[in-house]
Chains A and B, each alone.
Chain A
Amino acid sequence: MNDQQEIPLWEVFIRPRNGLAHRHCGSLHAADATMALQAARDVYTRRGEGQSIWVVPSMQITASDPTQKGENFEAQEDKIYRHPTFYEVPDEVGHM
């Protein structure tokens, strides 16, 4: 396995029809935004489910901390999940 880095992960949001909001439907891997959008169309709208597609690099999304629910909700900001590639390790440090 010689790919120096992994191909980045993107979250996909689709609005099936006008009038509805975009809904999260999953993720995929693509090297850049253009290819991510195309892949989203191929993967998540093969049966014509899509009107509008949003793709976002997964690590760009900020999530609230689910343990902070309830009255004392203090937004502790976190990643949407703990993916190995979300925490960048400098190249010099090597494979981790």
Chain B
Amino acid sequence: MYSQGLIGAKTDSDEPPEFLATFQARIDADEKIEPNDPMPAGYRKTLVRQIGQHAHSEVIGMLPEGNWITRAPTLRRKTALLAKVQDEGGHGLYLYSAAETLGVSRRQMTEELLSGRAKYSSIFNYPTPTWADIGAIGWLVDGAAIMNQIPLCRCSYGPYARAMIRVCKEESFHQRQGFEIMMTLCKGTQAQKDMAQDAFNRWWWPSLMMFGPHDSDSTNSDQSMLWKIKRFTNDELRQKFVDATVPQAEYLGLTIPDKDLKWNPDKNDGRGGYGFGALDWDEFWSVVKGNGQMNRDRIRVKKAGWDNGEWVREAALAHAKKRKARAAVQHAAE
């Protein structure tokens, strides 16, 4: 879902049908594919993009929340937020690590991100102007992410699945932290309630957009599902998210900014679910294509950090080289 349901596996490939069939049989038998296993080029390529995009999202995601670490209103909130943002960096790292097993380097992926060629979840292109945004992000954005991440723990590619298991273990406190912030605000003063409602109004629709285009508009979803890189469709996950979140919003006393939101007893095979209004797909595509409020700033900040750190990385490599040379000289002298 951090790939925003935009990455569909390419089906055209050069491999002979027997090869593809053997591979598919392994997937169907729920075998895990590991780094040196034979795999279709399309499988490898799709995973590199999907895992890469997921990793980039975690790393960019550190910025909207990191924005509030120095202004967190209490020491407890400050340390929790710092730990959360640190976790996100860690998740990015696990995912880059998984992607690297597929033949791409961290540096290549970094270049692609900073040049704008690689995408990341567009949710992070929205600004965080108030403290309540931190609560909303933890509750809604992490909530949406968890919906996608748990099924991915069973995805077919071993390193990705294992990275997701690690991520999911750490994720549990993130959403709780966000929801707790919202609860505190919603039980607080009028100013705090207004702050919470305002943040919710701004984050609700973008959170629904995190799940990507409608299934009918999603290209190549089927192959991803067949290869077990994707476990649920965009609409399935979006529906699940709405059904889980609406009662939480009602508990908080928040008004959902959707006049079309309505309980529908026929949804979910008769179990019932919420019908909701149409997403603004113009906004969705506009933000995905780079015209959200924060797109350019996010990349500019990451690029500045990367450029400002170049001398550090070069120094580390230079020192390592010097050490090796000194050790070699010493060894030769002995």
Label chain B's interface by main secondary structure.
Answer: helix
Q: How far is the CA of A29 from the CA of B107 in the complex (A)?
A: 10
Q: How far is the CA of A35 from the CA of B323 in the complex (A)?
A: 13
Contact A81 B35 (CB under 8 A): yes
Asked if B250 is at the interface (CB within 8 A of a chain A CB), the reply is no
Contact A65 B36 (CB under 8 A): yes
Closest to B313 in A: A3
Closest to A5 in B: B317
Contact B108 A31 (CB under 8 A): no
Binds A, one of B70-78, B97-105, B212-220: B97-105
Contact B94 A26 (CB under 8 A): yes
CB < 8 Å neighbour of B93 from A5, A28, A63, A85:
A28
CB < 8 Å neighbour of B107 from A3, A43, A65:
A3
Label chain A's interface by main secondary structure.
Answer: loop
Type the 1/0 row for A54-81, where 1 means its CB is closer than 8 Å to any CB of B: 0000000001011100000000001011
Contact A81 B107 (CB under 8 A): no
How many A-B residue pairs lie within 8 Å, measured between CB atoms?
A: 80
Asked if B20 is at the interface (CB within 8 A of a chain A CB), the reply is no
Contact B319 A31 (CB under 8 A): yes
Contact B38 A67 (CB under 8 A): yes
Cross-chain pairs A/B with CB under 8 angstroms, 24 sampled:
A1-B107, A6-B105, A7-B313, A7-B316, A7-B317, A9-B100, A25-B166, A26-B94, A26-B97, A27-B100, A29-B106, A31-B313, A31-B320, A35-B316, A47-B170, A65-B36, A66-B38, A78-B36, A81-B36, A81-B101, A81-B102, A81-B103, A83-B105, A84-B103
